[in-house]
A and B are shown apart, each in its own frame.
Chain A
Amino acid sequence: MTRWIFLGFLLIVGVLLASMARLQEKNDDIPYFLRYDSLAANSNPAIQLEVVSTEIPTEEQLEKLKKDYAAIWAHLNELYQHPNPKPSKERLTERFYLHLAKNYKEGPSGTIKRKNLSHSLQVQTWSRDGLSCNILDQEAQFSLEFPDGTTENFTSKIAISLLLQGDNWRLDGIRFID
């Protein structure tokens, strides 16, 4: 008799644990610091940097800026072809992300691929707290690859505003000047 009571108790505990496991919300979102940003890792444009701001950043800060700037362009190139802004969320400020998210509609991938080849950055302003910087990309070189295999290179002057939020620099505003 005792054996049956014990087995019954085990069964109740088992059912309870199983139901608790089912109730638990499944969250597949990996924390940001554990995510591997393959787009950023595979981007390696040539970046020249000149500082003209009154506040001078340290070498370490400039290295981080270069790395994050390349990552931002890797994501912008991805967005150029694919509409979903969510994978690029961590590279954009909330304000900029919302602009893209509100325009988001599913659809076929773009037929033209864009690649950034090189940048010539001029740091125009650098905040004393190191949380904001404004850049003029004097000569951003891009390559467009068309579906027929042809490519076309072009150069643009770009003004960019970045904010350091979380662990990295994020795009807050952009202007293709010419």
Chain B
Amino acid sequence: MKNTSYHFFLVLSLFACQKVAVKQPVFINPESMHLTHQDSLKFEVEGENWAVSIQTPVHIIYPEFTQENGQLTVLLTPKEGVIEGFAYITLYHEDQHFNFPIYLKNQGSEIQLEDLRSPKTVNTDSSMVQQQILYAFDQSGNLTEVTDGIFFQENYLELSPKTGIFKGITGTAVSSYYVDPGTVKEIPLSYSVDQINQSLTIKAGPLMDQFQNTVANGTLVIFSFEKDGKTTRLEAVVQEAYSQLTFPLSRVKNANVTAKIAHISSSTLTLSKP
């Protein structure tokens, strides 16, 4: 009798340890498409302690869910939306899991257009034709059509030869492009005398490119002085369209001066008047 009771207790214990398999959940609202932040996925389930994950086309997420009266409601409220497309929702219960195919779409996403320019910096000496690549995407990184059925658009734009920093049609920093001034067209030279300080200032400028843009600040100007058969070279830079050098009056009297930027030279100026 004692032995029988012992065996009976052992068998009962074994059954108690065995996990009870739950029935396959029933998908109550299997729509053709589910919208984030609007729809919820409803399942009829047995038992408690369920867990949920969704394998979206790009990444796995763990949505919020509630369980009440045998119904599990999965809320589609990911912070950043999802990559749209076919996905699988998985319901976990202890060691069991059940997969259901779904199609996810974001509800009312804001569309952003990207306008990439190439080259980003154009010089008025070179071609003013710039490549523009357009594509659009939503907040979650889903590409959207730029025009009907077209995801990527490419244009070639003729830029105006006006220097500056410009923003593309999207107005974003990434879309910015720059038009730099080209080489100086001509170098006008002039000089002025300061009788009080007994000094002479040689000025090159205004220095403009072929489209009347101011030559870039910092452009190197080489001044050549020729006096009594001896030539001296001095360097200066362009600042606000001008480049200048100041000398004691006695040193440059009757000197011939020329200025050069790259391959462009000025005409010779004779400092005869001082």
Chain A interface (Cβ < 8 Å from any Cβ of B)? 53-55, 76, 79-83, 85, 95-96, 98-100, 102-103, 105, 107-112, 114, 124-125, 127-129, 131-132, 134, 136, 146-147, 154, 156, 159-161, 171-176
* 8 A Cβ contacts from B124-156 to A: 131, 133, 135, 137, 139-144, 151-152, 154
Task: Note all chain A residues with C-beta closer than 8 A to B142.
Answer: 173-175
> Contacts A107-B62, A110-B90, A161-B152 given; 18 further ones with Cβ under 8 A?
A53-B154, A79-B60, A81-B55, A81-B60, A96-B141, A98-B80, A99-B81, A103-B78, A103-B80, A110-B60, A111-B97, A124-B151, A125-B154, A127-B116, A161-B143, A172-B141, A174-B83, A175-B84
Known: A76-B58, A112-B88, A174-B83. A128 touches B131 (CB 8 A): yes
- B212: Cβ under 8 A from any A Cβ: no
Contact string against A for B residues 228-264, beta-carbon threshold 8 Å, 1 for contact and 0 otherwise: 0000000000000000000000000000000000000
User: B99 CB to closest chain A CB, in angstroms?
Assistant: 6
- B27: Cβ under 8 A from any A Cβ: no
Query: Would you call B79 and A146 a contact (CB within 8 A)?
Result: no
- B59: Cβ under 8 A from any A Cβ: yes
Known: A146-B99, A161-B152. A108 touches B53 (CB 8 A): yes
Contact string against A for B residues 54-76, beta-carbon threshold 8 Å, 1 for contact and 0 otherwise: 01011111100000000000000
User: A162 CB to closest chain B CB, in angstroms?
Assistant: 11
Task: Note all chain A residues with C-beta closer than 8 A to B152.
Answer: 124-125, 134, 159, 161
Query: Would you call A110 and B53 a contact (CB within 8 A)?
Result: yes
> How far is A125 from B114 in the complex, measured between Cα atoms in Å?
14
B58's partner among A80, A105, A112 (CB-CB below 8 A) is A80
Greatest chain B CB density within 10 A among A81, A124, A136, A171 is at A124
Known: A55-B131, A127-B133, A176-B86. A79 touches B59 (CB 8 A): yes
> How far is A176 from B97 in the complex, measured between Cα atoms in Å?
26
Known: A81-B60, A105-B62. A176 touches B83 (CB 8 A): yes
- B85: Cβ under 8 A from any A Cβ: yes
Greatest chain A CB density within 10 A among B59, B81, B142 is at B59
- B119: Cβ under 8 A from any A Cβ: yes
Give the B interface residue count (CB, 8 A): 41
> How far is A173 from B119 in the complex, measured between Cα atoms in Å?
22
Task: Note all chain B residues with C-beta closer than 8 A to A108.
Answer: 51, 53, 92
User: A91 CB to closest chain B CB, in angstroms?
Assistant: 12
User: A66 CB to closest chain B CB, in angstroms?
Assistant: 19
User: A150 CB to closest chain B CB, in angstroms?
Assistant: 11
Query: Would you call A174 and B141 a contact (CB within 8 A)?
Result: yes
Task: Note all chain B residues with C-beta closer than 8 A to A147.
Answer: 97, 99
Task: Note all chain A residues with C-beta closer than 8 A to B135.
Answer: 134, 161, 173
- B167: Cβ under 8 A from any A Cβ: no
> How far is A166 from B206 in the complex, measured between Cα atoms in Å?
42
Query: Would you call B90 and A99 a contact (CB within 8 A)?
Result: no
Query: Would you call A159 and B60 a contact (CB within 8 A)?
Result: no
Task: Note all chain B residues with C-beta closer than 8 A to A131.
Answer: 116, 118
User: A99 CB to closest chain B CB, in angstroms?
Assistant: 5
Task: Note all chain A residues with C-beta closer than 8 A to B51.
Answer: 107-108
Could you give 23 example pairs across A and B, Cβ below 8 Å?
A54-B154, A76-B58, A79-B60, A83-B59, A83-B60, A99-B139, A100-B59, A105-B61, A107-B51, A110-B53, A111-B99, A112-B99, A124-B152, A125-B133, A134-B152, A156-B85, A161-B114, A161-B143, A173-B143, A174-B58, A174-B142, A175-B151, A176-B85
Contact string against A for B residues 38-54, beta-carbon threshold 8 Å, 1 for contact and 0 otherwise: 00000000000001010
> How far is A137 from B92 in the complex, measured between Cα atoms in Å?
34
> How far is A100 from B76 in the complex, measured between Cα atoms in Å?
15
Greatest chain A CB density within 10 A among B119, B120, B143 is at B143
Query: Would you call B144 and A107 a contact (CB within 8 A)?
Result: no
Task: Note all chain A residues with C-beta closer than 8 A to B139.
Answer: 99
A102's partner among B60, B80, B154 (CB-CB below 8 A) is B80
